[in-house]
Amino acid sequence: MRWNWQFTAWPEFRYESASLAARETAYLRNSGVVVGTTRHLPDDERFELIIELISTEALKTSEIEGDLLDRDSVQSSLRRQFGLQADTRRVGPAERGIAEMLSSVYRNFAAPLEEATLFDWHGVLMQAEAPPSARVPSEMRRFCEWFNSTAPDAPAALPALTRAGLAHLYFESIHPFEDGNGRIGRAIAEKALAQSAGQPTLTALSLVLLRQRSRYYRELELASASLEVSGWLDWFADRVIEAQAHTLAWLEFLIAKARLFDRLREKLNARQEKALLRLMREGPEGFKGGLSAGKYCTITGASPATARRDLAELVALGALLRTGERRGTRYVLMFAQPG
């Protein structure tokens, strides 16, 4: 198999820009909605959203590579990175490394991309750096030059989705490190999207890519064998739009959550509040299969009779919706329901 970097014209990628036009417009429009909505969130809820979405990105970009991390440890490390109050748990190197890299992407999104930055990211991820092959240093320099020259307002500026998709593929094609290339490549794509939006993005791109991991790898492999990359860019653009929808759902969820607790202030007992907060940690999708009376007992320590009474009150208050009957009875957040 011949790789794209073996062609004489490398790295002159070819693609049909017209087919991406509608999605480029949709991306910028959705970015405006995210920015506008986020600005209206109270500081504590805005930081909650930032920590939640960056930690999701951290977990999922690692899971794509087969690494399963601890969510609480990642979030604890992120809170420290952002100067927020965090618990005193000991955080492992894998969780700390991905948190450091993604918090750097978030805080320094507008800065030009430099080779030193990529090596720093790799260093915190892998706790070591593999020596590059003879050709890699020049390729890395050329890649950084291309990335910076295609930024918004730069001489060869490219649209958001086009640049992010090309940047990810370009970096993956160079494949400079023994390990960590996928995570860094996705971080570069996030940086490109953030620069186009003019602020840090919260797209949870890796969550969407993980759901289609096999297809993701196949699309990357196909694109890596040619300089004609229209198919890759079409597929990648759809995934970014899908990831934006996830972010918008989280924003709507946080706003509804705040309104719910405002409405129910002083109407909940400690058990009910604990259960609702635990259910809300699962985000817009909630517990898989819904909340059962048994789960409620586990979360709160309540007896079965108390759990049934508490849950009935939450339904009456309009916090939960009851579905099913008898042993199949489940409860879901009322505001998380379609429509």
pLDDT tens digits for 33-58? 888 888 777 888 888 888 988 999 99
Residues of the chain with pLDDT under 70: 127-132, 336-339
The pLDDT of residue 129:
56
The pLDDT of residue 132:
59
Q: Are 82 and 49 in contact (CB under 8 A)?
A: no
The count of other CB atoms within 10 Å of the CB of residue 205 is 27
Structural domains in the chain, sorted by start: 4-253 (1.10.3290.10), 269-336 (1.10.10.10)
d(CA 15, CA 169): 13
The pLDDT of residue 47:
86
pTM: 0.85
Q: Which residues contact 222 (CB under 8 A, 6 or more apart)?
A: 231, 232
Q: Are 54 and 103 in contact (CB under 8 A)?
A: yes
The pLDDT of residue 290:
85
The pLDDT of residue 7:
94
Q: Are 222 and 5 in contact (CB under 8 A)?
A: no
The pLDDT of residue 308:
94
Q: Which amino acid is at 12?
A: E
The pLDDT of residue 72:
92
Nearest CA to 37 among 249, 198, 183, 226? 249
The pLDDT of residue 339:
38
The pLDDT of residue 336:
54
The pLDDT of residue 338:
41
Sequence-distant contacts of 90-95: CB under 8 A, at least 24 apart: 93/127, 94/62, 94/67, 94/69, 95/58, 95/69, 95/70
> Tokens 């602020």 appear where?
199
The pLDDT of residue 182:
96
